[in-house]
């Protein structure tokens, strides 16, 4: 029997629409638990210092005091001071980059997670005190939309629903062989080279259900092939790419979509290729260069 999102919401406080979107978009690949890449050397230095304060060596007097229930190290400081430390380590209006190909399987053994979010893994009390700030105050950056899906399923839905800022910088085209004119493989539609089910629509179902989101930027990169220099014309089915964006029903402070093709609405031969954007809650920038001979 499937879970009831509304009943689950009563105990978790997570929006039912978000739980439903997560249930419908379960990733087909395994999920690594290593999430955040380090943001700065300063954060790493502070993290190492705090680790020694939180988990003192067994031979130290601090450890003996800890065994007898006496607050040690970091927890001797007032909560207000600890919150300032958490802000320094976990960031404030910082961009946290999710590693590319985060959605792909990784071996169980690998490098340890030394990112700024490692602090949340040290003990329950720090997790309780610092985790909310990490998700509400920072921007989460993704280079692959499947990485976002893996991330969404790896974190606590409570924290996912509190994220306020997302940033996507995505490859716009996968070239399968030959020139781009021989075989164009849109990354965001029904065509795939590795038999992975497209999840673009699921991404937007989740985003649309993230109630705390106020800023969202999506940038589709240029193809990056020499044959395309100076001619980033309409090469993807724009309607299919933009359709899921309309799932976002609330007006955000920032909602931008930046694509590498041109506005062809004034071209007689292609005037029906691009949809009307009247009433759209997102701002679309078509930054492509008009090819010679087309106006």
Query: Is residue 217 predicted with pLDDT exceeding 90?
Result: yes
Query: Is residue 250 predicted with pLDDT exceeding 70?
Result: yes
Per the prediction, the chain carries an average pLDDT of 68
What pLDDT does residue 249 have?
93
Lowest model confidence (mean pLDDT) among 35-39, 117-121, 259-263, 264-268: 35-39
What pLDDT does residue 42 have?
45
**Element (H or E) spanning 6, and its range?**
helix 5-12
Q: Check residue 285 and report its DSSP letter.
A: E
Q: What six digits make up the tokens of 116?
A: 């700024």
Lowest model confidence (mean pLDDT) among 6-20, 42-56, 123-137: 42-56
* Mean pLDDT of the region 256-273: 68
Question: In this structure, how many other beta carbons lie within 10 angstroms of the beta carbon of residue 6?
Answer: 10
What pLDDT does residue 265 have?
60
165-170 sheet: strands from edge to edge: 95-97, 139-142, 165-170, 215-220, 254-259, 283-286
Q: How far is residue 152's CA from residue 160's CA, in Å, rounded to a whole number?
A: 7
C-alpha distance from residue 160 to each of 28, 210, 290 (Å): 20, 7, 40
Domain regions of the chain by residue span: 16-39+95-105+113-286
Q: Are 112 and 37 in contact (CB under 8 A)?
A: no
Q: How far is residue 35's CA from residue 150's CA, in Å, rounded to a whole number?
A: 10
Report pLDDT digits (tens) over 162-187. 999 999 998 655 444 444 444 444 44
Q: How far is residue 204's CA from residue 216's CA, in Å, rounded to a whole number?
A: 11
Q: Are 143 and 96 in contact (CB under 8 A)?
A: no
Closest C-alpha among 140, 135, 150, 143 to residue 25: 150
Q: How far is residue 222's CA from residue 171's CA, in Å, rounded to a whole number?
A: 7
Q: Are 203 and 148 in contact (CB under 8 A)?
A: yes
Query: Is residue 29 predicted with pLDDT exceeding 80?
Result: no
Residues in the chain: 295
Q: Check residue 259 and report its DSSP letter.
A: E
Strand partners, 220: 170
What pLDDT does residue 211 have?
94
Report pLDDT digits (tens) over 79-131. 899 888 888 877 767 788 876 655 455 444 444 444 566 677 777 888 888 88
């Amino acid at each position: 029997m499937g879970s009831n999102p509304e009943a689950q919401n009563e105990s978790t406080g997570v929006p039912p629409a978000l739980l439903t979107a997560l249930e419908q978009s379960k990733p087909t690949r395994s999920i690594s638990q290593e999430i955040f890449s380090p943001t700065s050397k300063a954060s790493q230095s502070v993290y190492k210092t705090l680790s020694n304060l939180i988990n003192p060596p067994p031979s130290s007097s601090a450890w003996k005091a800890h065994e007898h229930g006496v607050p040690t190290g970091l927890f001797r400081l007032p909560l207000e001071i600890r919150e300032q430390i958490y802000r320094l380590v976990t960031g404030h209006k910082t961009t946290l980059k999710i590693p590319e190909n985060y959605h792909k399987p990784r071996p169980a053994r690998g490098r340890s997670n030394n990112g700024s979010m490692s602090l949340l893994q040290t003990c329950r009390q720090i997790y309780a005190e610092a985790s909310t700030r990490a998700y509400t105050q920072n921007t989460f950056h993704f280079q692959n939309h499947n990485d976002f899906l893996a991330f969404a399923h790896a974190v606590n839905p409570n924290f996912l629903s509190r994220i306020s800022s997302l940033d996507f910088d995505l490859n716009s085209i996968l070239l399968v062989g030959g020139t781009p004119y021989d075989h164009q493989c849109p990354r965001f539609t029904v065509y795939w080279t590795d038999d992975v089910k497209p999840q673009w629509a699921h991404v937007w179902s989740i985003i649309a259900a993230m109630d705390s989101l106020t800023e969202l930027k999506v940038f589709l990169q240029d193809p990056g092939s020499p044959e395309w220099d100076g001619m980033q014309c309409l090469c993807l089915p724009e309607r299919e790419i933009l359709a899921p964006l309309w799932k976002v029903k609330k007006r955000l402070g920032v909602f931008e979509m930046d694509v590498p093709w041109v506005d062809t609405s004034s071209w007689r031969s292609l005037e029906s290729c691009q949809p009307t954007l009247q009433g759209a809650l997102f701002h679309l920038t078509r930054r492509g260069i008009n090819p010679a001979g087309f106006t």
